[in-house]
Amino acid sequence: MRIQKIREALQKEQTEAIVLSNMKNVRYASGFTGDTGMAVITEKSAYLIVDGRFTEQAEKESKIEVVDYNKNFIKTIESLLKNENIKKCAFEGNTMTYSEADYMMKNISGIAWTPTKDLVETIRMVKDKSELKTIQKALKIALDTFESVKKEIVAGVQEIEIANEIEYRMKKMGASGASFETIVASGKRSSLPHGTASEKIIQNGDAVVIDMGAVYNGYCSDITRTVFVGEPTKEQQRVYDLVEKAQKKAIDAINVGVSCKDVNEVAVSEFRKNAMEQYFVHSLGHGVGLDVHERPFVAGRSSDVFEPGMVVTVEPGLYLPDQFGVRIEDMVLVMNEE
């Protein structure tokens, strides 16, 4: 099914084949979980090219034909394309470096090369049942980990201690690792949207923003929670309530056929009504899957539209410089209305 979707996309691009170099896309097309390899998808065939270090693994994992790179990936690609008399072939222009693409085009003659952008990433936006099941497990690990750590977020503990404990417990629950470097930002540092954990000691009265996610069987999760050490001030509670309200309204606005930019605007307008728009400094959300940040992008300039099977984050936040910040992030599955 995945290979067929790639072939249909190639037909729309009016090209006969594609060379995949992005390892997440290689995995999506083949099932291979190694960190080195390439894939060639044509109208008739699908090949996974690996070197000797990964041959055994590839033969066990791959759903497409495995080909040894024969000490030269480019020569192997050339052989596969010319065996099928391919005249026009795409490559991943937003993944392959200029030097890699230049070398390939110069060394494989007789092919009209065309760069593509997001061809496979666009297909990956809609998850199949097996992907959804895996993402759900990755999310459960993150949620359960946060619940187990939450009571330990107290005055006197360093941010880095909390971050380390989160990553340790996620692995203990079955994750292969964290989706990204865990964010634990407290006090004035909580106004930093990407305030990765430091040696700062959490103090009474701090807002603490925790952004975390687990990787399970290659798929990611991503959640953010803001907690207060001690009773929040009236201003902290006001900001938290506003962020929570904006998130709820945005989630309620998500539906099949709705544009991502319109949902982003729902949150922005809620902040604008409260004269807080200037403190919302990032987009509302993004897709989650093999990458923790992938299409669709729930942003003001996004051209993406919600489809059944998409998994996105909704993460409004307000960041008051040199004071504190609040972000709440949850993952949402887009479904047809029943």
The domain spanning residue 55 has which CATH number? 3.40.350.10
126 and 296 in contact (C-beta within 8 Å)? no
Does 222 map to a domain? Answer: yes
Beta strands across the sheet bearing 311-314: 294-298, 285-287, 311-314, 330-333
Task: Report the residue count for the chain.
Answer: 338
Average predicted confidence (pLDDT) for the chain: 97
66 and 143 assigned to the same domain: no
- Final residue before a domain boundary, out of 124, 145, 172: 124
Rounded distance, CA 248 to CA 267, Å?
9
173 and 88 assigned to the same domain: no
Q: Which tens digits make up the pLDDT trace of 193-246?
A: 999 999 999 999 999 999 999 999 999 999 999 999 999 999 999 999 999 999
Q: Is the dihedral of CA 202, 203, 204, 210 positive or negative?
A: negative
Q: How many angstroms separate the Cα of 168 from the Cα of each of 101, 138, 198, 296? A: 40, 15, 17, 30
Q: Which tens digits make up the pLDDT trace of 313-330?
A: 999 999 999 999 999 999
Give how many domains the chain has, as a whole number: 2
Does 338 map to a domain? Answer: no
What share of the chain in percent tops pLDDT 70? 100
DSSP state of 190: G
Q: Say yes or no to pLDDT of 306 above 80.
A: yes
CB-based burial, 294-305: b 16+ in 10 Å, e otherwise: bbbbbbeebebe
Q: Say yes or no to pLDDT of 337 above 90.
A: no
97 and 52 assigned to the same domain: yes
Task: Give the pLDDT confidence score for residue 336 in this predicted structure.
Answer: 81
Cα–Cα nearest to 216, from 173, 170, 171, 175 = 175
pLDDT band at 70 (very low <50, low <70, confident <90, very high): confident
263 and 298 in contact (C-beta within 8 Å)? yes
Rounded distance, CA 206 to CA 190, Å?
9
- Final residue before a domain boundary, out of 124, 158, 185: 124
100 and 173 assigned to the same domain: no
Cβ within 8 Å of residue 251, ≥6 positions away: 314, 330, 332
Task: Give the pLDDT confidence score for residue 338 in this predicted structure.
Answer: 60
- Final residue before a domain boundary, out of 98, 124, 150: 124
67 and 169 assigned to the same domain: no
Q: Which tens digits make up the pLDDT trace of 77-126?
A: 999 999 999 999 999 999 899 999 999 999 999 999 999 999 999 999 99
295 and 162 assigned to the same domain: yes
Task: Give the pLDDT confidence score for residue 146 in this predicted structure.
Answer: 98
Tokens of 236: 């902290």
Domain of residue 34: give its range: 2-124
Which residue type does 162 have? I
Which residue type does 182 have? T
295 and 198 assigned to the same domain: yes
319 and 214 assigned to the same domain: yes
Tokens of 190: 């909580």
Average pLDDT over residues 16-21: 97
Q: How many angstroms separate the Cα of 138 from the Cα of each of 31, 46, 122, 237, 250? A: 18, 29, 22, 30, 23
Under DSSP, is residue 127 helix (H, G, I), strand (E, B) or coil?
coil
Predicted TM-score (pTM) of the model is 0.95
242 and 318 in contact (C-beta within 8 Å)? yes
Cα–Cα nearest to 192, from 171, 205, 213, 207 = 207
Task: Give the pLDDT confidence score for residue 79 in this predicted structure.
Answer: 95
Q: How many angstroms separate the Cα of 307 from the Cα of each of 114, 122, 123, 313? A: 28, 11, 11, 14
Average pLDDT over residues 18-37: 97
213 and 80 assigned to the same domain: no
Q: Say yes or no to pLDDT of 71 above 90.
A: no
